[in-house]
Chains A and B, each alone.
Chain A
């Protein structure tokens, strides 16, 4: 079974600065996807960024980028130029690649607070 670990329950960052959220996972699969989801106070789950395990290049989406280390099973999220609207719970998630849809396995989450 796959597990996802987020070792930072809470983080805070000053507006306009950079912050990195950590995530490690455990799997025996070779093909899979990794995701970061954001959950603001509204509780809506919003996809921030995804990474395919077969791609060596780290994914980027505007101010969000990842550091994917497949051998170390590490998948950290870097948020640059932090904004107040980035305040939210962030979840790292794992999905096996397969013929049919597959379930997401989530970490426990990291609360990020952006301070003005």
Chain B
């Protein structure tokens, strides 16, 4: 059973460009979470999605950031008009619909660098 997949692993964008980060959850997992890790900091929650639904987006910046988890295909975190402050590692985690401990399984992360 493959783990959580994220691609690309590294992404370089110039200021003003768009960044698209992809996350394929573990097989059978229907919950996806996105977290951001700024340099020298802990992970901060951004958004929690189920298939075709955003459940909790309380950690998402109000502008330029959006996320989706379509019925088919990976979850996408989209950052429009990137700025230098968006440079960070973005982690995706997934969990099954029913879980005794709500354990989240993390992907390897995407490191975004904005030039």
Contact = CB atoms under 8 A, between A and B. Distances in A.
B104 A104 contact: yes
| Chain A contact residues, majority secondary structure | loop
20 contacts: A33-B102, A43-B108, A43-B109, A47-B103, A50-B103, A52-B101, A91-B42, A97-B102, A101-B31, A101-B33, A101-B95, A101-B99, A101-B104, A102-B48, A102-B102, A103-B33, A103-B58, A106-B43, A107-B42, A108-B41
Interface of A: 33, 42-47, 50, 52, 91, 95, 97, 100-109
A37 to B, nearest CB: 8
B14 to A, nearest CB: 24
Contacts of B56: 103
Contacts of B35: 104, 106
A52 B95 CA distance: 17
| Chain B contact residues, majority secondary structure | strand
Contacts of A42: 108
Interface of B: 31, 33, 35, 41-45, 48, 55-56, 58-59, 89, 91, 93, 95, 99, 101-104, 106, 108-109, 111
A56 B48 CA distance: 30
Given A43-B89, A45-B91, A52-B101, A103 B42 contact: no
B43 A91 contact: yes
Contact of A33 (B31, B41, B93, B101): B101
A103 B45 contact: yes
Q: Considering residues A33, A43, A47, which has the most beta carbons from chain B within 10 angstroms of its beta carbon?
A: A43
B25 to A, nearest CB: 12
